[in-house]
Chains A and B, each alone.
Chain A
Amino acid sequence: MVDIAFDSGMSGGPLIELFGSTPVVRAMVSADVSESPRTGVEASGAHAFASLLLPIAGLRVYGTSITFADGTQLDDPSVLDLIKNGVIKHYGDVLETLRIEDVDGRVTVTWSARL
C-alpha cells in the first residue's frame, strides 16, 4: 500500500525505487479504492495498492525460446529463466533462494529472506 494516487490509466505501470541513479521496478500499479469526488477517474491515493513482482517469476512467455551460454535451448521460458539468461535484468539476491515447482500447470514459488 502506498500514499500515491493512482488515476485511471495508470494501472499496470511500474512502481520504481531508485538504487543510486538506476530506476528499478519493485511493484506494479494495481488498484486505488479511494473515493473520487469529481470525475470518477481521479483518485486521492488514500487506499492505493501496488502488486509486488515476485509471483511473476514462474510465469512463462509462450511462443518464444532462449539459448543459454552453454548452448542449451529452452522453449516457453519462465521469467526466472529470462533473468538467468540475462534477458531481464534483476537486482538483489532473492533469486539465490528462489525455487519454482510447476506441477500440472500449478506453479508454486518459494523463497527465503532475512527479516
Chain B
Amino acid sequence: MLDKRITIPTDQLVKCVLPMYAVTRSATWHARGTGFVIGRLDERSAVLVTAAHNLRGLESLLHLRPRSHGSTPDEFASRVDKTWRDLGIDLIFLLRGDEETVVATVVGDAQLLEHDLAIVHVTIPPDSRTRFDMALPVKLDPLLEPSTHVAAVGYAGLTATSTQDWDRGAFQATAKFPLESRDGRVLGTVAPTHGIHRGRAG
C-alpha cells in the first residue's frame, strides 16, 4: 500500500514528456512511444531521452521483404538493423504549447542498446509559436534503493491514424496521446538485458 502519491502538474508534464511517432514516406503515422526533454539547447531545439527500441525495428513499418531467406546463415545474410535515416523515416515528437501543438523532428541520435537508452536531438520549425520552455532535471546516481517511491509517466495507449489523398495532395493525421502518471515502488536493480517490448508502440 502506498503511503503517499506523487503529484506532478499535468500542464508541466505535457511540455517535457512528449509522444513519439514515426512517419514514413507514404505519410503514414505510427505510434512509437514516449520521450522526455532533459535539456533545451535553445528555444527551437532540445535534447530528449527515449528508449532505444523506439528508434529501431522500423523496417516492419515499411513491410519490406527480407533481402535473404530466414534459413540463410548469418554470415551470408545481411541482418543489419537499418536506421530511420537509411529508411527515409521521420521520427517526430509532438510538443504541446499554449497556442498550438508543433512537430519536433529528430535530427540526430545516439543509442546504448544494452541499456535500451537513447538521446535524440530535436528541432521545431522556426516560425512556430510554441517553444521548448521546460526540461526535467535528472539524477544520474546509479543507486536507486528498493522501496523508493517513484512515478512512471508516459503515453499509454498512444495511437495515430492517417489518411492520404495523393491526387489532391491532402494529408491528415489524427493522434491520440493520453498522458498517464502511475505511482509505485522500486523492487530492486538487475543487470541490463534486452527486454520484450509491448505491442506495436514501444
B1-35 toward A: CB 8 Å interface, digit per residue (1/0)?
00000101000000001011000000000010111
A1 in contact with B142 (CB, 8 Å): no
Q: What separation, in Å, do the CA atoms of A27 and B152 have in the docked complex?
A: 9
A88 in contact with B135 (CB, 8 Å): yes
**Chain-A contact segment, one of B39-47, B61-69, B71-79:** B39-47
Given the known inter-chain contacts A9-B202, A13-B153, A62-B110, please indicate yes or no for A91 contacting B33, CB distance below 8 A. no
Partner of B50, one of A8, A12, A26, A88: A12
Q: Does A94 contact B (CB under 8 A)?
A: yes
Instruction: Enumerate chain B residues within 8 angstroms of A5, measured Cβ to Cβ.
Output: 182
Given the known inter-chain contacts A14-B17, A29-B34, A90-B140, please indicate yes or no for A3 contacting B185, CB distance below 8 A. yes
- Give the bracket for the number of chain A residues in contact with chain B: 35 or more
Q: What separation, in Å, do the CA atoms of A8 and B116 have in the docked complex?
A: 16
Instruction: Enumerate chain B residues within 8 angstroms of A14, measured Cβ to Cβ.
Output: 17, 36, 49, 136, 152-153
**A24: min CB distance to chain B, Å:** 5
Partner of B51, one of A12, A17, A26, A111: A12
Q: What separation, in Å, do the CA atoms of A90 and B135 have in the docked complex?
A: 11
* Interface size in chain B (residues, C-beta < 8 A): 74
A4 in contact with B183 (CB, 8 Å): yes
30 residue pairs from A and B, CB less than 8 Å apart? A4-B150, A4-B151, A6-B154, A7-B199, A9-B33, A9-B155, A9-B158, A10-B34, A10-B156, A11-B54, A12-B33, A15-B151, A16-B153, A22-B137, A23-B136, A25-B36, A25-B136, A25-B137, A27-B144, A31-B53, A33-B195, A49-B190, A51-B192, A52-B189, A53-B49, A55-B117, A59-B119, A60-B110, A64-B45, A94-B141
